[in-house]
């Protein structure tokens, strides 16, 4: 005999709490995103472990990690999560919405921001494909539908549909900190630590340019945000990274003791002649909603 509805609901809650803890990388973050008490979410996972008779996760520094048994249960939890997600987005418009949207942005905003805004849209509208072009120079207006840009738009024919701040902080890999120690203050960072930087940071933030000029060991410079992230992950040095992106990297630590408080405004714009196309309006809504959570 199968489970009754009450038993199925209990199991569903346990699996979704477990899936959320893995998806967000920690029980505390999952509880925050799920609007639950951390203790309540932990209880759900413990009950799931008790019922399966297996240890499903290991609690590690700053997060959780799946055990071998946990990987099998996580696959089932993901299937359940996907079914529920699909059921909440079932509507005729989703199935009939199709075609492409051309989105342009810079390398930094693409890697540090845009990719985090798209998962729910892509799940809800599987027949719409987003063509993302990342470059340093903004293309002609007829070459994109939507753009995410660092400078306030001056061109006529573009409509601003969102304006936000991307916050940055200092990060280092756990391996780097184990070797060189945690920077005590700004002076210690400049005198005794290796620094990685992105070239355009020097023109964007005079405060960062002054910091780099006073640093004894600038180990690496790059013009790519993705490369800068990789350099820091590989332990080359301390780097300035978008906080929303870098905090999700398991091997990185936010050096919050040193508060440099840097941020950069950006704008979301679309071409005015396509502002009433349904798929464009929907993507704008999804990006704006995701931006509130970054």
DSSP 2: -
Domain identity same for 260 and 189: yes
Amino acid 115: pLDDT: 79
Q: What is the CATH number of the domain that holds 213?
A: 3.40.190.290
For 151-189, the pLDDT digits (tens) are: 888 777 889 988 888 889 999 999 999 999 999 999 999
**Which of these three, 45, 68, 88, is where a domain ends?**
88
Amino acid 286: pLDDT: 87
Which of 7 and 43 is assigned the larger pLDDT? 43
Which of 138 and 242 is assigned the larger pLDDT? 242
Domain identity same for 280 and 158: yes
Which of 260 and 173 is assigned the larger pLDDT? 173
Mean pLDDT of all residues in 205-211: 94
Mean pLDDT of all residues in 224-243: 93
Dist CA 286 CA 203 (whole Å): 32
Dist CA 159 CA 275 (whole Å): 8
Domain identity same for 74 and 130: no
Q: What is the CATH number of the domain that holds 131?
A: 3.40.190.10
- Per the CB < 8 A criterion, the answer to whether 265 and 165 are in contact is yes
Kindly state the greatest CA–CA separation across the chain.
72
Domain identity same for 131 and 48: no
Query: Bridge partners of 128?
Result: 99
Domain identity same for 273 and 141: yes
Q: What is the CATH number of the domain that holds 69?
A: 1.10.10.10
For 12-70, the pLDDT digits (tens) are: 999 999 999 999 999 998 999 889 999 999 999 999 999 999 999 998 877 888 999 99
Domain identity same for 227 and 191: yes
* Helices of type H across the chain: 5-24, 27-33, 38-52, 68-88, 92-96, 107-109, 115-117, 119-124, 174-180, 186-192, 201-204, 206-213, 225-233, 243-246, 278-291
Per-residue confidence band for 293, with pLDDT thresholds at 50, 70 and 90:
low
Domain identity same for 153 and 286: yes
Domain identity same for 79 and 141: no
**Which of these three, 88, 111, 126, is where a domain ends?**
88
**Which of these three, 88, 105, 137, is where a domain ends?**
88
For 129-153, the pLDDT digits (tens) are: 999 988 877 778 888 899 888 888 8
Domain count, the chain: 3
Domain identity same for 228 and 282: no
Q: For the chain, what's the residue count?
A: 294
Per-residue confidence band for 92, with pLDDT thresholds at 50, 70 and 90:
low
Asked whether residue 93 carries a pLDDT value surpassing 70, the answer given is no
Average pLDDT score over the chain: 87
CA distances from 222 to 76, 107, 180, 195, 196 (A): 41, 12, 22, 12, 8
Q: Phi and psi at residue 139, in whole multiples of 5°?
A: -75, 175
Domain identity same for 31 and 174: no
Domain identity same for 41 and 70: yes
Mean pLDDT of all residues in 75-79: 91
Domain identity same for 259 and 270: no
Burial class (CB in 10 A: 0-12, 13-18, 19+), 140: exposed
Q: What is the pTM of this model?
A: 0.64
Its domain, for residue 45, covers 5-88
Per-residue confidence band for 90, with pLDDT thresholds at 50, 70 and 90:
low
The rounded Cα 217 to chain-centroid distance in angstroms is: 29
Of residues 8, 41, 40, the one with CA closest to residue 24 = 41
Residue 239 contacts by C-beta under 8 Å, 6 or more apart in sequence? 170, 171, 172, 195, 196, 197, 228, 229, 231, 232
Amino acid 107: pLDDT: 76
Which of 87 and 46 is assigned the larger pLDDT? 46
């Amino acid at each position: 005999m199968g489970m009754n509805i009450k038993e199925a609901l209990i199991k569903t809650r346990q699996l979704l709490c477990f899936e959320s803890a893995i998806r967000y990388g920690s029980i505390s973050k999952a509880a925050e995103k799920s609007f639950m008490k951390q203790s309540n979410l932990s209880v759900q996972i413990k009950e799931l472990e008790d019922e399966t008779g297996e240890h499903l996760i290991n609690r590690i520094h700053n997060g959780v990690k799946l055990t071998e048994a946990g990987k099998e249960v996580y696959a089932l939890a993901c299937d359940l999560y996907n079914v529920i997600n699909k059921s909440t987005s079932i509507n005729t418009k989703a199935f009939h919405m199709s075609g492409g949207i051309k989105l342009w942005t810079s390398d930094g905003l693409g890697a540090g921001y845009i990719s985090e805004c798209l998962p729910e849209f892509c799940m809800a509208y599987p027949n719409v494909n987003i063509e993302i072009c990342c470059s340093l120079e903004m293309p002609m207006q007829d070459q994109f539908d939507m753009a995410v840009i660092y400078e306030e738009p001056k061109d006529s024919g573009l409509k601003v549909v969102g304006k936000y701040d991307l916050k940055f902080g200092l990060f280092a890999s756990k391996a780097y900190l184990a070797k060189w120690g945690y920077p005590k203050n700004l002076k210690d960072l400049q005198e005794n630590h290796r620094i990685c930087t992105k070239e355009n940071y020097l023109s964007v933030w005079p405060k960062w340019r002054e910091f780099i000029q006073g640093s004894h060991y600038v180990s690496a410079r790059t013009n790519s945000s993705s490369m800068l992230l990789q350099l820091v992950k590989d332990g080359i040095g301390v780097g300035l990274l978008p906080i929303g992106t870098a905090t999700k990297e398991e091997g990185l630590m936010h050096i919050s003791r040193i508060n440099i408080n840097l941020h950069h405004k950006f704008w979301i714009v679309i071409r005015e002649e396509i502002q009433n196309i349904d798929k464009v309006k929907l993507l704008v809504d999804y990006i704006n909603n995701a931006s509130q959570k970054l």
